[in-house]
Amino acid sequence: MNHGTALLWKRRALSSLSATRRGLPKEKMSENGVSSRAKVLTIDTMNPTVKKVEYAVRGPIVQRALELERELSQGMKKPFVEVIKANIGDAHAMGQQPITFFRQVLALCSYPELLNDTTFPEDAKSRARRILQSCGGYSMGSYSASQGIESVRQDVARYIERRDDGVPCDPDDIYLTTGASDGIVTVLKLLVCGEGAARTGVMISIPQYPLYSAALAELSAVQINYYLNEETCWSMDISELQRALDEARRHCNPRALCIINPGNPTGQVQSRQCIEDVIRFAAKERLFLMADEVYQDNVYADSCKFHSFKKVLFDMGPEYSNTVELVSFHSTSKCYMGECGFRGGYMEIINMDDEVKAQLTKLVSVRLCPPVPGQALMDLVVNPPQTGEPSYDKFIKERTATLSALAEKATLTEQVLNTVQGISCNPVQGAMYSFPRITIPEKAIKEATDNGQQPDMFYCMKLLEETGICLVPGSGFGQKDGTYHFRMTILPPKDKLTILLNKVKEFHQKFTQQYS
Amino acid sequence: MSVLQEISPNVRNMIQLESTVLAIRARQIKEELRQKVRKPYKEVIDVSWGDPHRAGVKPLSFVRQVLSACLYPQLLNSDTLPVDVRQRAQTLLAGCDAGSVGSYTAAAGISEIVCRVSEFITRRDGGVPSYPEHIFISPGSQWALTSILNVLVNSEASPRTGVLTPVPCYSTATLSIMGLGADIVPYYLSEEQGWELQVEELHRALDSAKGACNPVALYVINPGNPTGHVQSRKSMQEVIRLVAEKRLFLLADEVYQDCVYGENSEFVSYKRVLAEMGPPLSDTVELASFHSASKGIMGECGLRGGYVELVNLDPAVMKYIYKLFSTYSCAPVLGQIALDLMMNPPQPGDPSYPLYSEETQHIRSTLAHNVKRVFEVVNSLPCFCCQPVEGGAFAFPRLHLPHKAIEKAKEMGMQPDMFYCVRLLEDAGVLVSPGQDLGQKEDTYHIRFCIMTSEDTMEEALRRLSSFQTQFMKVFS
């Protein structure tokens, strides 16, 4: 039994003793209502907006999965030998290997004595030296400037220029962040204001990555849902954007439009035409564009290509490129790096008013600085080994292997799920997830609703209890009324993924049978 | 005109710091020096942040070795690193999903690390129990502080939520409070009594808030930032009685608990004092205690590792706090590891112990020496005086500026201490923070500078400060 459990047991034992025992948590007393003194911070006095925060990716189904894991480790018998957490976009947790070069440089930065170690390649050493030069006291342990290490921002700007065929990028427009989530929430904090009917509204795709809904709830912003079109591979429809916007204008002040491309949870890669149409729409309706592009390297379908919002914007000429306000988010957590635990990211701010930028700079200063190892990692991501350098071949090999494995798994997932009667899966064009639609029998829907549960949560919970597979119900992401989905990552190694998919297939057939 | 012309008033109202202006100028001067522009100094000494590594303190070898092995596990297969380093790295990697520091962790932190943090707290507090479920690891203590404030502050409330905040106080905390839409209710620390917190002043502050806002929390920093004051047990007991009586949530920022220098000073945690006061107080006072790997002997500010321990909170509220933390995924794994290493350093008998002991002794004696030197030097200079620095990372000496200097500052449209800082930077190449950014009694002026520096850096900074101060007083008297 692990130490945490031991402590939990000790606490439970103690709580059966006198409740006035020193230092004891008050849980037992409150449950019995014998509390002699009301707390200062209760669910009635706390910030009401925090109560609205839900984050399905780490929500109740994950809590249950962790419980099952604990029970398994305690020797309890289950219909499965392990819990597979296919709920979260965590590549390393599912066995993806880190890029050797990145880890070598970071180890060198961490403990510079290793610069004398002959087992590290020269190019890794020169990168480490360069990064350390830009750190205070030659140490990753120093705070950096709040906006991020200047030389890293310069490298990010150059990467963006290369990516976008030379479209200029000013390093001062780059803000390094603690994962992309930090950047997203910071920008939302900046733009949410107003009272009543003038309250800021933010357009977000349905389905969406629930960080957006959580942040909007916490900030008391109005969430304006626009539906992606499942029938056409989750494409965006300008008419749908218009509908959502016109409706929203009646009760709030829409100011921003969020897009996730490649999509999470849907995996669609928007066409260039679509991106142009969105930009035109934002320009016409005077909306601030928030482009979440963290999966920009995760594109698998041959017919698809990642088009950055910035590149498309600039290709549309000065009428748009000088006026449309845009922020683009990127991260070290996804793509081929999968370094979630580093909390590295950046945002590029385009065409933002100087005064507003000054406010943004003030806002980021409050959290001091993003983790320096994450900044260093971002530097390597935007500045990887070049042809001719000692680490180049290995780097390319590793990156290609990771991305092609993901592409294979994307296809496999779509194929297997589409063989199941009652499951329909759009092609996983990019990102790391499949978001198939599932048909849930009426009887099951009724049982779920009677229990106060969303039908797809009911389905996913049953799947978890019977197979140990943890997925996230579509209700956590948003979906058209009367439709049900789940989100499953494509990250487990191919053989495990195959088993997983077949188990889901079996379960679905059984479930459908059981509730027919 | 920008779509974002209208922005949140909470953001707009966050004060613009003068330190930012100074930092920008310092960067320019560094560039000028690089271009070989002639100046009375060869480099800028930056002692404006509580950043030991920037100021010349070396990272601890053990910590960096363990981190490097966690980052690049190939190092576990050779003798390059000491055996206890390798063992520690192995244990830590076993707590990471698939053995990688690149995986997400549980929202509150790697559970084995959270447990060890809890054990550390229990040891520190002479056996007072600590529960892992009440601990959240965060990207630095500031993040945790902002999150807990976020739960406490209702920005829609009328009257507005108030937070009792010390004057002086480091600016990040006050900006966080303002950014969340709460009102600062200032309570003045007593400079003449070594920056003591006097409970009568807390009463006065609360009275002043009547009708203006609704105070829900009291924020204390112990050891103090920027004051360096270490609270006495008696004072802490008075604070606890007050928060119980006035129904306030107690926010105890204790990140400098490992930096105590005063011979008669001793850090004791609010949790311990609370527990020792016994029921009903010990069972009811709601407390959040913050700590960090950024300060202390390790000084790993850039790794962003901190935690909050919550005491006596309503379990229903705890559920929401957990959800809030989970939306941000988790604290950076290297920061979590740094925290763990801080709480569980090498022990006598471990191969790394001798070097660890040597390095930490060196840092501690350097800091003790710095503190002594600052007191001596500053108090020997004209119009300059400094309370004893009992703890923390900074000295916050008071400037008795001559009338001429104050007039000149007014002429230039600056606060007098900002004017002093600008001149100190330009003429002597020393970057410090002006007291106005931290708050001070009206018509008093201070500067804040970091004392967690290498010995050489401190000596040079004091040398430059001395000659600058002497010259400045000559010019303006």
Q: Where in chain B is the domain with CATH 3.40.640.10?
A: 104-343
Q: Is A193 on the interface with B (CB under 8 A)?
A: yes
- Beta carbons of A140 and B303 less than 8 Å apart: yes
Q: In the beta sheet, which residues pair with residue A424? A: A437
Domain identity same for A319 and A302: yes
Report how far residue A151's alpha carbon sits from residue B382's, in angstroms, rounded to the nearest whole number: 42
Our CA-based measurement puts residue B427 at a distance from the nearest CA of chain A, in whole angstroms, of 22
Q: How far apart are CA A50 and CA B145, in angstroms?
A: 15
Q: Is there a contact between B303 and A373 if contact means CB atoms under 8 Å apart? A: yes
Give domain status of residue A236, yes or no.
Answer: yes
A226 DSSP β-pair partners: A205
d(CA A154, CA A251): 42
Contacting residues for B27 by C-beta, under 8 A, at least 6 apart: none
The residue behind tokens 């330009």 is B426
User: Residues A183, A279: one domain?
Assistant: yes
**B406 vs B444: CA distance, rounded Å:** 11
Domain B104-343 coded CATH 3.40.640.10? yes
Same domain, A412 and A371: no
Q: Are A314 and A275 members of one domain?
A: yes
Same-domain pairing of A272 and A303: yes
**Residue B7 to residue A23, Cβ atoms within 8 A:** no
- A422 — alpha (psi -120 to 50), left (phi > 0) or beta? left
Measuring CA to CA, which residue among A208, A279, A278 is closest to residue A241? Answer: A278
CB B475 within 8 A of CB B80: no
Write the pLDDT tens digit of every residue in B332-363: 999 999 999 999 999 999 999 999 999 999 99
Does one domain contain both A364 and A405? no
User: How distant is the Cα of A511 from the closest Cα of chain B, in angstroms?
Assistant: 31
What residue has token string 């507003």?
A356
What pLDDT, on a 0 to 100 scale, did the predictor assign at position A21? Answer: 38
**Residues A165 and A32 occupy one common structural domain:** no
- Domain range for A321 is 143-382
CB contact under 8 A, B151 and A192: no
Residue in chain A nearest B49 by alpha carbon: A143
How many domains is chain A built from? Answer: 3
Nearest C-alpha in B relative to A351: B2
Bridge partners (DSSP) of residue B447 are: B434
Q: Which residues of A touch B74 (CB under 8 A)?
A: 119
| Per-residue pLDDT at A9 | 39
How many of the other CB atoms lie within 10 Å of CB of A494?
Answer: 12
Contact (Cβ atoms closer than 8 angstroms) between residue A429 and residue A413? no
Q: What is the DSSP string of B369-381?
A: HHHHHHHHHHHHS
* Residue in A107, A142, A179 closest to B302 by CB: A142
Q: If 0-12 CB within 10 Å is exposed, 13-18 middle and 19+ buried, where does residue A516 land?
A: exposed
Residues of chain B with pLDDT under 70: 1-5
CATH number at residue A252: 3.40.640.10
Best B8, B61, B63 member to test A by mutation, with max A CBs in 10 Å, is B8
pLDDT of A366 reads 86
- If asked whether residues A264 and A320 sit together in one domain, one would say yes
Q: Does A139 touch chain B (CB under 8 A)?
A: yes
* Domain end point (choices A348, A382, A416): A382
Interface A-B: count of C-beta contacts within 8 A: 332
Do the beta carbons of residue A200 and residue A252 sit within 8 Å? yes
Contacts of A357 in chain B (CB under 8 A): none
Q: What is the CATH classification number for the domain harbouring A70?
A: 3.90.1150.10
Calculate Rg over the CA atoms of chain A.
Answer: 24
Indicate the helix (H) or strand (E) that contains A505: helix A494-514
Domain-located, residue A110: no
The ranges of chain A with pLDDT < 70 are 1-37
SS3 A462: helix
Q: Is A115 on the interface with B (CB under 8 A)?
A: no
For helices A272-285 and A238-249, give the axis angle rounded to 10 degrees.
20
CA angle (A388, A389, A394) in 5-degree steps: 100
Q: A 36-65 residues with CB below 8 A of B?
A: 36-37, 39-43, 45-51, 53-55, 58-59
Q: What are phi and psi of A256, to 5 degrees?
A: -140, 155
Q: Report how far residue B248's alpha carbon sits from residue A193's, in angstroms, rounded to the nearest whole number.
A: 29
Does residue A1 lie within any of the structural domains? no
Q: For A193, which of B8, B64, B67 is closest by C-beta distance?
A: B8
- Structural domain contains residue A298: yes
**Cβ separation B315–A114 shorter than 8 A:** no
Which chain A residues touch B150 with a CB distance below 8 Å? 47, 50, 218
Closest chain A residue by Cα to residue B142: A367
- Check CB contact under 8 Å for B323 and A53: yes
DSSP for A3-22, please give it.
HHHHHHHHHHHHHTS-TTST
**Residue from the list B103, B282, B317 with its beta carbon closest to the beta carbon of A22:** B282
Looking at the structure, tell me whether residues A187 and A227 fall in a common domain. yes
Beta-bridge partners for A175 = A347
Tell me: do A256 and A373 sit in the same domain.
Answer: yes
Best residue in B7, B143, B303 to probe A by mutation, most A CBs within 10 Å? B7
Give yes or no: residues A320 and A211 share one domain: yes
Summarize pLDDT for A310-328 with one digit per residue, the tens.
999 999 999 999 999 999 9
Which residues in chain B touch residue A256, judged by CB atoms under 8 angstroms apart?
A: 3
Mark yes or no for CB contact B72/A103 under 8 Å: yes
Domain annotation covers residue A462:
yes
Q: Is A24 on the interface with B (CB under 8 A)?
A: yes
Q: Do B46 and A8 touch (CB under 8 A)?
A: no
**Cβ separation of A193 and B56 shorter than 8 Å?**
no
Inter-chain touch B5–A353, beta carbons under 8 Å: yes
DSSP A61-114: HHHHHHHHHHHHHTT---SSS--EETTS--TGGGTPPPPHHHHHHHHHHH-GGG
How far is CA B431 from each of CA B20, B44, B48, B424, B449, rounded to the nearest angstrom?
A: 11, 7, 6, 7, 8
Residues 143-162 of chain A whose Cβ lies under 8 A from any Cβ of chain B: 143-145
Give B446's strand partners: B398
- Every domain range in chain B assigned CATH 3.90.1150.10: 3-56+356-476
A224 neighbors A248 (Cβ within 8 angstroms): yes
* B3-56+356-476: CATH number: 3.90.1150.10
- Closest chain B C-alpha to A269 CA, distance in angstroms: 25
